[in-house]
């Protein structure tokens, strides 16, 4: 036995135990001699604590019964709050992910982890079996993107309720299921309410947490990121220095200037500055309404060979979510007010997410702003509050109104002066106004040097000098960034028609300009 002065308090013991445990990770077979002997511990402070608690408990016997009831009910009062915190920690993957890791949705292990009710999953299963006729349990689980360990007991419960029956045995303890007459009738009633039976829905609360973690406002773009994103364009350094702070603001910007100076091309490449991917739900489930969020026409899915769907898949993520490149949604003059609201298909009762929801954590480009079928005032009035508050309100077909993030970099691209389109109140909410200016002569040469090999030509500086002097300086015509590409296309088409070798000549330039600038 050691001297009492050398004994450790419990707090000191725990601290030393943590250090010894962490050092033991390097060698599992390491000796445990670093952990002190039980007899070396000093429990005197615990004895004093117990004595103090006993005195306090004796002194508290005189308190009234109301205080005792409050103390007994306190844990129950906090039960719901604790459950919410546990739900958040599960979604954020705090136990399995290290600091700095990219967030991904953890695979649910129980039906409670999905955030869905038994009946919500039952609806999808029965409608799928009615459409398919018969399917194995694992095929059902794969189709609705719910793990088999959750679907298997659910299917057996449906069998006990005489809604499904075994049709045949399948591999690895699975069975092939088909509907009974009772199950077919129930599936038919479910289909009358909504015909959707794809991926299981993700609750709105889970979506809100994911958007907060992956918010574009938390991303930073450096000068190197911008140069990489715009590497296929010729952009002056002054322009990049304006774009950088605007992108990092995460708010919005006006890109204005003459047509053909690359406003749309610049806007489409802004999201690439962040160089990351995000996870979004395939569908959202909100009080019975199903909203389709993932749109293959807009979102670019990330293909990962490690995310196999087979039985032996080693990946563990929630397959109700899909990993995409940070979205860039571009809309032009075809934009209508209906596309900014939740729309329900009257035939299948499936709702389509609005464009601003599909562009969350990315970029929304309003191209040719001022030429939409709706008035600019109508569009700006719809977005004036979301631009300020960073959240939006959507009306659901059920009549409910929900609050969702308005978390994207909005770029208004226009050929018109911003002050001629909107009032000062709206301009204040779009802090950056960047003009896409006409290219200089040096930049014009760089554009020809970049575009010529793409069209099969060899760059000829003398021919470009002839073009600038003859068709721009002498005619007092302004240069545009799109002219090199368009004129080279004219020359290529002429050479193809005449059967001539692709070569930049003064004669070809004159022919191209006579066609291209006839009414310009």
DSSP assignment of 384-433 equals HHHHHHSEEEEE-TTS-EEEEE--SEEEEEESS-HHHHS-HHHHHHS-EE
pLDDT score at 101? 56
Both tokens of 32, joined, read: 């445990």
Contacts 24+ apart (CB under 8 A), 108-113: 108/146, 108/147, 108/150, 108/318, 109/147, 109/149, 109/150, 110/150, 111/150, 111/154
Length of the chain: 520
CB atoms within 10 A of CB 492: 16
Res. 30 pLDDT band, cuts 50 70 90? very low
Place of tokens 């990049």: 240
- Is the pLDDT at 446 greater than 50, yes or no? yes
- Is the pLDDT at 100 greater than 50, yes or no? no
Residue among 291, 295, 323, 292 at smallest CA distance from 307: 323
CB atoms within 10 A of CB 372: 19
Res. 4 pLDDT band, cuts 50 70 90? very low
- Is the pLDDT at 483 greater than 90, yes or no? yes
pLDDT score at 84? 52
* Helix, strand, or coil (residue 504): coil
Res. 248 pLDDT band, cuts 50 70 90? confident
Residue among 131, 128, 137 at smallest CA distance from 200: 128
Residue among 323, 330, 326 at smallest CA distance from 355: 330
Q: What is the CATH number assigned to the segment(s) 212-302+318-435?
A: 3.40.50.300
Place of tokens 């999201």: 271
The string of pLDDT tens digits covering residues 384-426 is 888 888 899 999 998 899 999 999 888 999 888 887 887 777 7
- Give the integer Cα–Cα distance in Å for 310 and 313: 5
Q: What is the mean pLDDT of residues 261-278?
A: 86
Percent of the chain with pLDDT over 70: 78
Better-scored residue on pLDDT, 25 or 517: 517
Residue 20: partners with Cβ closer than 8 Å, 6 or more residues away? 32, 34, 35
pLDDT score at 220? 85
* Helix, strand, or coil (residue 292): strand
| 376: Cα separation from own chain's centroid | 28
Both tokens of 63, joined, read: 């308190």
pLDDT score at 61? 46
Res. 250 pLDDT band, cuts 50 70 90? confident
Domain with CATH 3.40.50.300 in the chain: 212-302+318-435
130, 132, 133, 139 alpha-carbon torsion, rounded to 10°: -110
- Is the pLDDT at 496 greater than 50, yes or no? yes
Question: Integer distance in angstroms from the first to the last C-alpha of the chain?
Answer: 101
pLDDT score at 315? 60
- Is the pLDDT at 41 greater than 50, yes or no? no
28-32, 71-75, 410-414, 436-440: the lowest-pLDDT one: 28-32
Q: What is the CATH number assigned to the segment(s) 111-199?
A: 1.10.10.10
Domain with CATH 1.10.10.10 in the chain: 111-199
Q: What is the pTM of this model?
A: 0.73
pLDDT score at 74? 45
- Give the integer Cα–Cα distance in Å for 367 and 412: 6
Report residue 432: phi and psi, to 5°.
-120, 125
- Is the pLDDT at 37 greater than 60, yes or no? no
């Amino acid at each position: 036995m050691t001297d009492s002065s050398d004994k450790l308090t419990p707090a000191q013991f725990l601290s030393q135990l943590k250090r010894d445990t962490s050092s033991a990770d390097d060698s599992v077979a390491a000796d445990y001699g670093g952990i002190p002997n039980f007899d070396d511990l000093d429990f005197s402070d615990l004895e004093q604590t117990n004595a103090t608690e006993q005195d306090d408990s004796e002194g508290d016997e005189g308190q009234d019964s109301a205080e005792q009831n409050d103390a007994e009910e306190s844990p129950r009062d906090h039960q719901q709050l604790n459950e919410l915190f546990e739900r958040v920690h599960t979604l954020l993957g705090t136990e399995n992910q290290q600091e700095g890791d990219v967030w991904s949705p953890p695979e649910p292990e129980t039906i409670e982890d999905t955030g869905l009710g038994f009946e919500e999953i039952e609806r999808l299963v029965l409608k799928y079996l009615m459409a398919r006729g018969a399917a194995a349990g694992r095929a059902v689980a794969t189709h609705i993107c719910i793990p088999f360990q959750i679907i298997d007991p659910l299917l057996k419960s449906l069998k006990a309720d005489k809604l499904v029956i075994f049709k045949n045995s399948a591999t690895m303890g699975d069975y092939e299921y088909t509907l009974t007459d009772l199950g077919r009738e129930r599936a038919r009633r479910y289909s009358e309410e909504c015909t959707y039976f794809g991926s299981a829905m993700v609750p709105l609360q889970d979506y809100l947490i994911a958007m907060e973690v992956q918010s574009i406002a938390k991303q930073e773009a450096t000068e190197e990121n911008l140069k990489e994103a715009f590497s296929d364009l010729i952009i002056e350094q002054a322009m990049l220095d304006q774009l950088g702070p605007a992108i990092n603001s995460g708010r919005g910007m006006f890109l204005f200037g003459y047509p053909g100076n690359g406003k749309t091309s610049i806007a489409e490449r802004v999201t690439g500055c962040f160089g990351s991917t995000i996870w979004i739900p395939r569908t959202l489930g909100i009080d019975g309404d199903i909203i389709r969020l993932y749109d293959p026409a807009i979102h670019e899915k990330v293909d990962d060979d490690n995310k196999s769907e087979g039985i032996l898949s080693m990946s563990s993520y929630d397959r109700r979510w899909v990993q995409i490149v940070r979205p860039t949604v571009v809309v032009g003059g075809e934009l209508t007010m209906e596309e900014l609201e939740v729309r329900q298909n009257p035939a299948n009762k499936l709702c389509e997410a609005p464009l601003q929801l599909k562009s969350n954590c990315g970029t929304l480009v309003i191209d040719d702003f001022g030429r939409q079928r709706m008035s600019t005032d109508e569009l700006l009035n719809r977005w004036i509050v979301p631009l300020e508050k960073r959240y939006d309100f959507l009306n659901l077909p059920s009549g409910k109104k929900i609050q969702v993030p308005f978390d994207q970099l909005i770029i208004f691209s226009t050929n018109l002066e911003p002050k001629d389109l909107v009032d000062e109140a709206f301009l204040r909410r779009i802090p950056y106004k960047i003009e896409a200016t006409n290219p200089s002569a040096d930049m014009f040469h760089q554009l020809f040097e970049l575009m010529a090999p793409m069209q099969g030509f060899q760059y000829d500086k003398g021919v470009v000098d002839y073009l600038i002097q003859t068709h721009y300086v002498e005619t007092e015509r302004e240069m545009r960034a799109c002219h090199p590409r368009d004129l080279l296309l004219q020359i290529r088409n002429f050479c193809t028609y005449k059967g001539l070798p692709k070569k930049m000549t003064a004669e070809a330039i004159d022919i191209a300009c006579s066609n291209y600038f006839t009414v310009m």
